[in-house]
């Protein structure tokens, strides 16, 4: 049948207010499962994609071109191996009879069973024509199955029923074109009746056609039922109001989605609070407005908080004065709490709070937060020594990094840790570099986040992340699969980005060893140095891949397990240039061949002795290698990696001639060892920058 001859199908579940943070996901999964159920029963026709809808009080789907009756279909079912189905006399076994009963296949059908090989076994198969499903018969079960598959962590019961769902359910619409499809879901019989906005609409709304759903809900229902359309309408209103006020909206991940899930007919109003609250750090005010009240704070051109905010209301009224005043009245106690916490916290210095950290457990095997702070202090000081930075400031910064964890403000808003530490440190008269390091030592917190700036902040940030990596690896808490409860992947990426992008001339292996040394003997019971380095190099592999480097170039550098991460990008760039040279791939192949030969060599190889050369080709190669002995180390020392790689072209012809004319594994042990020694020197030059045998693979 043509899709145009088959009407659309509308399914709507009318509920109490659904969880806002989960609403869009619930809408997507509900509709996807309904669509899959229809497809499984062959009730769909080719045509437009379905539409899903979600508001605070409903989940719905509109599917175009749905059949009332699915076409008949031929099915083939594997029954069981013949040897199991029939006994020695050729009669049906009990196993076969039970299988037929379970599948509702008559015993008389055994005569029509087809024998086919299935692997090494001869098996019975059953073919039959199956009547197409009736939409009226299966739709309710499709809806019930879809509801069971929703990502709902906790179900609830309501009234005196035994039905369970995330929220009480009050209505069910199953409309095929203009016809109600009968069925019962969660104790509700299907109808063509829905409800609009709780306050802006009144009474039941009759849906005459499935495809009139969106417009009928919009008017007279006063509901924008499409989640994406509603979200876009809110975003446009927010931008328009902000532009009127010559302000910008403080970004908040997820807030727009959350308010979209809280309203059905969004209208944006401007609220205001007393300017005296602006004496509190704006991060505190912004967080309480966004997190507790779902408001959108406004910033001026210099990104300073204004004493105005935007409210996404679910009510459209001629005079919004009462809505605006009500929201201002609600937010005022929140702002007062923030001001109280801020003023109370400043009565006690950060340094004087350190003792309280002794009562806060970091991990039961790794001690208290105070013990951790003492490790961070010592490690940051060592890092500062490596950087030639002020060791006293680095140690002080690390010592105070966690002190704000026991402040009232951070206790109320954990998201402000580090941020409040900076404010309180400045209030205490700490050095600005110390205060800045307290805030930025958590950075980078996510992909693309800013890095800590300056050697003091970098020392504190590296100490924090390296201590976590060494500690948790040392007690066997290594990330597996998707599980990373202590954020060690994030910590590793943070260390790598700081070393590589700042850049910092620090040796990663040394840093790991320094971090490990900070733990009391016996605390760490598992290996640390090599496992942590392996873990970080694997993270580096992904980081470089995301940066656009080719896989073979990455592998060539990482094959040498680099620990000066700051030098890695220059090596990668040099290898990319090297690959454009005519000799590059030939030298890469030669390097691989030499590596395979040397793997079989036994014992320590001697330095090549010119007097033992028997062939002109090996003498010629020896002379060319001598020209590289000073050149390549000097280029590498000067970090001129392309120069070092390009110099390898000087030996290309002699290498080819050597392998063409010289047999390495000869019977004479002295000659053989001398030739292996020659190749060993060449091998070191070929791999001075990277393992070029990986190139072109």
Category of 250 on φ-ψ map: left (φ > 0), alpha (ψ -120 to 50) or beta = beta
Instruction: Answer whether residue 313 shows pLDDT above 70.
Output: yes
Residue appearing with tokens 């080709």? 617
Beta bridge partners of 480: 483
Long-range contacts of 633-640 (CB under 8 A, 24+ apart): 633/688, 636/688, 636/689, 639/567, 639/570
Superfamily name and number for 569-694 = Isoleucyl-tRNA Synthetase; Domain 1 (1.10.730.10)
Rounded-to-integer distance, Cα 491 and Cα 460, Å:
13
Domain boundaries, the chain: 3-69+134-218, 73-130, 242-345, 351-548, 569-694
Confidence of residue 210 (pLDDT cuts 50, 70, 90): very high
Contacts of 552 (CB under 8 A, 6+ apart): 694, 695, 696, 697
Q: Which of 30-34, 220-224, 445-449 has the lowest mean pLDDT?
A: 445-449
Closest CA to 596 of 683, 472, 512: 683
The listed CATH number (2.40.50, 1.25.10, 1.10.3210, 1.10.3470) that belongs to domain 351-548: 1.10.3210
- 338-383, pLDDT tens digit by residue? 999 999 999 999 999 999 999 999 999 999 999 999 999 999 999 9
- Of all helices (H) and strands (E), which one includes residue 78? strand 73-81
Query: Of the spans 104-108, 127-131, 410-414, 480-484, which averages the highest pLDDT?
Result: 410-414
Residue 1 pLDDT > 70, yes or no?
no
Contact predicate 280/338, CB 8 Å: yes
Please say if the pLDDT value at position 539 is more than 90.
yes
Q: Name residue 368's beta-bridge partners.
A: 361
Beta bridge partners of 310: 270, 296
Helix (H), strand (E), coil (C) string for 397-463: HHHHCCHHHHCHHHHHCHHHCCHHHHHHHHHCCCCHHHHHHHHHCCCCCCCCCCCCCCHHHHHHHHH
pLDDT on residue 525: 95
- CA gap 554, 560 in Å, rounded: 11
Average pLDDT over the chain, rounded to whole?
94
Look at 387-396, 531-540, 652-661 and tell me which has the smallest mean pLDDT: 652-661
pLDDT digits (tens, 9 = 90+) for 589-617: 999 999 999 988 888 899 998 888 888 99
Burial of residue 352, with CB atoms counted within 10 A of its CB: 0-12 exposed, 13-18 middle, 19 or more buried? exposed
For the chain, give the percent of residues with pLDDT over 70: 99
What sign does the dihedral 483-487-490-494 (CA atoms) show? negative
- Which pLDDT tens digit goes with each residue over 319-349? 999 999 999 999 999 999 999 999 999 999 9
Q: State pTM to two decimals.
A: 0.81
For residue 162, pLDDT over 70 is answered with yes
Distance between CA atoms of residues 119 and 249, nearest Å: 65
How long is the chain?
A: 697
- The span from the CA of 608 to the CA of 521, in Å, is 47
Question: Average pLDDT in the 241-262 region?
Answer: 94
Hey, is 310 helix, strand or coil? strand
């Amino acid at each position: 049948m043509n899709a145009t001859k088959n009407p659309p199908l509308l399914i709507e579940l009318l509920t109490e207010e659904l969880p806002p943070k989960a609403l869009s996901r619930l809408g997507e999964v509900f509709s996807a499962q309904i669509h899959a159920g229809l497809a499984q029963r062959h009730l769909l026709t080719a045509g437009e994609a379905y539409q899903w809808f979600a508001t605070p009080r409903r989940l719905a789907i509109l599917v175009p071109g749905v059949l009332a009756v699915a076409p008949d279909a031929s099915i083939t079912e594997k029954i069981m191996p013949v040897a199991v189905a029939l006994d020695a006399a050729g009669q049906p076994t009990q196993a076969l009879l039970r299988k037929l009963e379970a599948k509702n296949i008559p015993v008389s059908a055994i005569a029509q069973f087809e024998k086919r090989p299935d692997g090494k076994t001869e098996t019975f198969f059953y073919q039959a024509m199956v009547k197409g499903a009736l939409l009226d018969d299966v739709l309710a079960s499709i809806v019930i199955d879809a509801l069971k598959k929703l990502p709902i962590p906790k179900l609830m019961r309501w009234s005196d029923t035994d039905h369970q769902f995330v929220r009480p359910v009050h209505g069910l619409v199953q409309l095929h074109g203009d016809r109600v499809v009968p069925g019962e879901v969660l104790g509700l019989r299907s109808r063509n009746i829905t409800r609009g906005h709780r306050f802006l609409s009144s009474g039941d709304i009759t849906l005459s056609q499935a495809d009139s759903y969106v417009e009928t809900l919009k008017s007279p229902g006063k509901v924008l039922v499409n989640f994406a359309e509603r979200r876009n309408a809110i975003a446009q209103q927010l931008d328009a109001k902000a532009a009127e006020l010559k302000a910008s909206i403080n970004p908040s991940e997820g807030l727009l989605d959350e308010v979209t899930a809280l309203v059905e007919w969004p209208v944006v109003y401007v609220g205001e609070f007393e300017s005296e609250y602006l004496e509190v750090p704006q991060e505190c005010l912004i967080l309480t407005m966004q997190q507790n009240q779902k408001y959108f704070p406004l910033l001026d051109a210099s990104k300073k908080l204004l004493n105005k905010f935007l409210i996404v209301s679910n009510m459209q009224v001629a005079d919004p004065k009462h809505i605006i005043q009500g929201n201002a009245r609600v937010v005022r106690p929140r702002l007062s709490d923030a001001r109280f916490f801020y003023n109370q916290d400043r009565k006690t210095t950060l340094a004087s709070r350190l003792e309280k950290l002794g009562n806060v457990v970091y991990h039961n095997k790794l001690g208290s937060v105070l013990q951790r702070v003492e490790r961070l202090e010592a490690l940051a000081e060592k890092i500062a020594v490596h950087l030639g930075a002020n060791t006293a400031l680095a140690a002080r910064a690390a010592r105070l990094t966690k002190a704000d964890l026991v402040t009232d403000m951070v206790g109320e808003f954990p998201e402000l840790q580090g941020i409040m530490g900076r404010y309180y440190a400045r209030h205490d008269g700490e050095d600005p570099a110390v205060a800045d390091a307290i805030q930025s030592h958590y950075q980078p917190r996510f992909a693309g986040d800013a890095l800590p700036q300056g050697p003091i902040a970098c020392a504190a940030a590296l100490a924090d992340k390296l201590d976590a990596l060494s500690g948790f690896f040392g007690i066997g808490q290594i990330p597996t699969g998707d599980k990373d409860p202590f954020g060690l992947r994030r910590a590793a990426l943070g260390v790598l980005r700081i070393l590589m992008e700042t850049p910092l001339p620090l040796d990663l292996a040394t840093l790991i060893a320094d971090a490990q040394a900070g733990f009391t003997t016996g605390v760490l019971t598992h290996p640390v140095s090599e496992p942590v380095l392996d873990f970080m190099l694997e993270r580096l592999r992904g980081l470089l891949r995301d940066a656009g480097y080719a896989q073979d170039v990455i592998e060539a550098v990482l094959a040498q397990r680099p620990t000066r991460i700051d030098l890695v990008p220059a090596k990668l760039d040099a290898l990319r240039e090297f690959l454009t040279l005519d000799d590059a791939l030939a030298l890469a192949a030669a390097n691989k061949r030499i590596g395979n030969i040397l793997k079989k060599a036994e014992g320590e190889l001697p330095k090549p002795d010119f007097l033992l050369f028997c062939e002109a080709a090996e003498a010629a190669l020896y002379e060319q290698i001598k020209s590289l002995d000073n050149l390549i180390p000097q280029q590498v020392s000067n970090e001129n990696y392309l120069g070092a790689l390009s110099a390898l072209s000087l030996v290309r012809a002699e290498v080819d001639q050597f392998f063409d004319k010289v047999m390495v594994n000869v019977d004479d042990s002295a000659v053989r060892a001398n030739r292996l020694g020659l190749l060993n020197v060449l091998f070191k030059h070929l791999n001075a920058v990277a393992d070029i045998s990986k190139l072109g693979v």
